[in-house]
A = this chain, B = another copy of it.
Amino acid sequence: MQFDSLDDIRAFCRDLPGGDARAAEAAAQRQQILTKPPGSLGRLEDLAIWLAHWQRREIPRLDHVMIAVFAGNHGVAERGVSAYPQAVTLQMVANFAGGGAAINQIARQAGADLRVVPIELDRPTRDFTVAAAMDDDELLNAIEIGYRTVPPDCDLLAVGEMGIANTTTAAMLCAALLGGGAARWAGRGTGVDDAGLARKRTAIEAALEHHRAILGDPLKVAAALGGRELAGIAGAILAARRHRIPVLLDGFVATAAIVPLAQLDAGILKHCRAGHVSAESGHRALLGELGLEPLLDLRMRLGEASGAGVAILLLRAALACHAGMASFTEAGVSGAEK
């Protein structure tokens, strides 16, 4: 086990590995001499420098890009919080394996390897309105699975999820750790109706009451009020940080998965970028809380790493410019007049 106890995770987050400021500075200098007005590639320049920082090389690479999609089932689904039956989680995992889902097409387009990691789909977490969704060992096990998913030589990791009812779980984590109650965080997910949305809010409020004694402990919250696929994402993010691999977060659920870690140390966010902002109502507020600016805003709300997967394309464009453009000197182009 990478982490034998919650304290091991707390210790890791107290002393997070850093990137390479000199590589980032070299990349920033390089951007200044390429044939364009300084800054004119906007966020594409920032992205190239960010990749350089975490990959610790002036010219980063994207030869080995992985999209990891974690799947889990949720006891709270019994409360009627989703428009779809729980069986769809497993059916969609089969669809991923068969190549028929959106993320299969996006991964191919993005030149990324797709890794789908179902975590005990036949053993949903317990309904958190009346019990702890997971105990510490169950949480650690899911984190470990996520951690092991990430190859140390990966150049970029995009993380996403599949799990019927998991926008309820994501909203639950946000409500427990960031405040504002169910109203702030519960949205329509895959398309629940007004009655379903009301059930979602009721479940979250009930769980906030039931678990009020542990709300001050982010990892206890991740266990009692989280989900296995969210814990898997957290584990993958921890592994990526260990190996200094830059990470693209997907939508509301994938972003909520990092909240417990961010509460231990907000520095965990530094090797992460928000691939997009989802149409799921809580996501924009969540990104704001975390200080993350999304790369895309396309009203997507599918999950399965689809938004992060599309954002990989932006990183490829950023890197292509960074690595391939001529300098003013090389191209014989005059600079700005003084």
Contacts and interface: CB of A to CB of B under 8 A. Distances in A.
Interface of A: 34-44, 83-85, 87-88, 91-92, 94-95, 98-102, 104-106, 108-110, 190-191, 279, 295-302, 306, 309-310, 313-314, 316-317, 320-321, 323-326, 330-337
B106 A333 contact: no
B40 A301 contact: yes
Contact of A42 (B36, B42, B301): B301
Contacts of A101: 35-36, 325-326, 331
A43 B34 CA distance: 33
Contacts of A95: 35, 326, 331, 333
A108 B298 contact: no
Contact of A316 (B40, B98, B109): B109
Number of copies: 2
Contacts of A84: 37, 334-337
A324 B40 CA distance: 35
Contacts of A330: 100
Given A41-B102, A313-B314, 18 more contacts: A36-B102, A37-B191, A41-B306, A42-B279, A42-B298, A42-B300, A84-B336, A85-B337, A91-B331, A99-B326, A100-B324, A100-B331, A101-B331, A106-B320, A109-B317, A110-B317, A190-B336, A310-B314
A109 to B, nearest CB: 5
B313 A35 contact: no
Contacts of A105: 317, 320-321, 323-325
A41 B300 contact: yes
B98 A298 contact: no
A295 B298 CA distance: 7
Contacts of A314: 298, 310, 313
Nearest to A164: B334
Contact of A310 (B35, B317, B336): B317
Nearest to A296: B296
Name the 9 nearest CB pairs between A and B, nearest first: A100-B326, A42-B299, A105-B320, A313-B313, A40-B302, A37-B190, A105-B324, A42-B300, A43-B298
Contacts of A333: 88, 91-92, 95
A91 B327 CA distance: 12
Contacts of A85: 334, 337
B317 A88 contact: no
Nearest to A40: B302
26 contacts: A36-B101, A37-B83, A37-B84, A37-B190, A37-B301, A40-B191, A43-B298, A44-B310, A84-B337, A91-B334, A92-B333, A95-B333, A100-B325, A100-B330, A102-B321, A105-B320, A108-B324, A109-B313, A109-B316, A109-B320, A110-B317, A295-B298, A297-B297, A310-B314, A310-B317, A313-B316
A337 B84 CA distance: 6
A301 B313 CA distance: 19
A51 to B, nearest CB: 15
Contact of A317 (B295, B297, B313, B331): B313
